[in-house]
Structure 1
Amino acid sequence: MTNPKHFNAIYILPNLFTAASIFTGVVSIVAAIHGHYEKAAWLIFLSLLFDGLDGRVARLTHATSRFGVEFDSLADIVAFGVAPAVLLYFFVGEAYGRFGVLVMALFVIFGAIRLARFNVMSPNTDPTVFIGVPIPTAAIFVAVWVLMFRRYEALEPLSWVLLVVTLGLSFLMVSNIRYPSFKKFHLEKARLTKVLVAAILLASLLYLYPVEGFAAMITLYILWGVARAVYTMATRRKRLGSRRK
Structure 2
Amino acid sequence: MQKHLPNFITLLNVFCGCVATVFAVLNRLEMAALFVALGIFFDFFDGLAARLLNVKSDLGLQLDSLADVITSGLVPGVFMFQLLAMSQSGGWNMNGAPFFGESGVDVISFLPFFGFVITMASAYRLANFNLDENQVSSFIGLPTPANALLIISLPLILFYNGSDTVNSIILNPWFLVLLTLLSAYLLNCNITLFALKFKNWSFKDNALRYIFLIISLVMIITMKFLAIPFIILFYILSSLVQEKFYG
Q: TM-score range by the shorter chain?
A: 0.7 to 0.9
Q: Is the 8 A contact 1:144 1:211 kept in 2?
A: yes
Determine the C-alpha separation between the residues in 2 that align with 1:217 and 1:199: 9
After TM superposition, give the deviation of residue 143 of structure 1 in Å: 1.0
**Paired residues for 1:1-245 under 5 Å:** 9-93=1-85, 95=88, 97-104=109-116, 106-121=117-132, 123=133, 125=134, 127-151=136-160, 152-154=162-164, 155-158=166-169, 159=171, 160=173, 161-183=175-197, 200=214, 202-222=216-236
Partner amino acid, structure 2, of 1:221: Y
Q: Is the 8 A contact 1:133 1:173 kept in 2?
A: yes
Secondary structure of 1:130's counterpart equals strand
Partner amino acid, structure 2, of 1:110: A
Secondary structure of 2:189's counterpart equals coil
1:126 to 1:62, Cα distance in 2 relative to 1, 3 A: closer
Q: Is the 8 A contact 2:13 2:43 kept in 1?
A: yes
Determine the C-alpha separation between the residues in 1 that align with 2:190 and 2:30: 32
Structure with greater helix percent: 1
What is the root-mean-square deviation in Å for CA atoms of aligned residues? 3.1
Identity %: 25
Farther off after superposition, 205-214 or 193-202? 193-202
After TM superposition, give the deviation of residue 205 of structure 1 in Å: 4.2
Deviation readout 1:18-57 (Å, 9 max, x if unpaired): 1111111111111112221111122211111010001111
After TM superposition, give the deviation of residue 187 of structure 1 in Å: 8.9
Farther off after superposition, 140-149 or 216-225? 216-225
Q: Is the 8 A contact 1:25 1:78 kept in 2?
A: yes
* TM-score, length basis structure 1: 0.76
- Consecutive unaligned residues of structure 1, counting only runs of 5 or more, are 1-8, 233-245
Deviation readout 1:103-132 (Å, 9 max, x if unpaired): 31x2111111111111111x2x26343111
- Consecutive unaligned residues of structure 2, counting only runs of 5 or more, are 89-107
Deviation readout 1:157-206 (Å, 9 max, x if unpaired): 22222342122111221121222223258997669899868855653443
1:209 to 1:173, Cα distance in 2 relative to 1, 3 A: same
Partner amino acid, structure 1, of 2:10: T
Farther off after superposition, 216-225 or 151-160? 216-225
* TM-score, length basis structure 2: 0.75
Determine the C-alpha separation between the residues in 1 that align with 2:143 and 2:207: 29
Partner amino acid, structure 2, of 1:175: C
After TM superposition, give the deviation of residue 91 of structure 1 in Å: 2.8
Partner of 2:92: none
1:37 to 1:192, Cα distance in 2 relative to 1, 3 A: closer
Deviation readout 1:130-151 (Å, 9 max, x if unpaired): 1111111111110112211222
Larger radius of gyration: 1
Determine the C-alpha separation between the residues in 1 that align with 2:208 and 2:59: 40
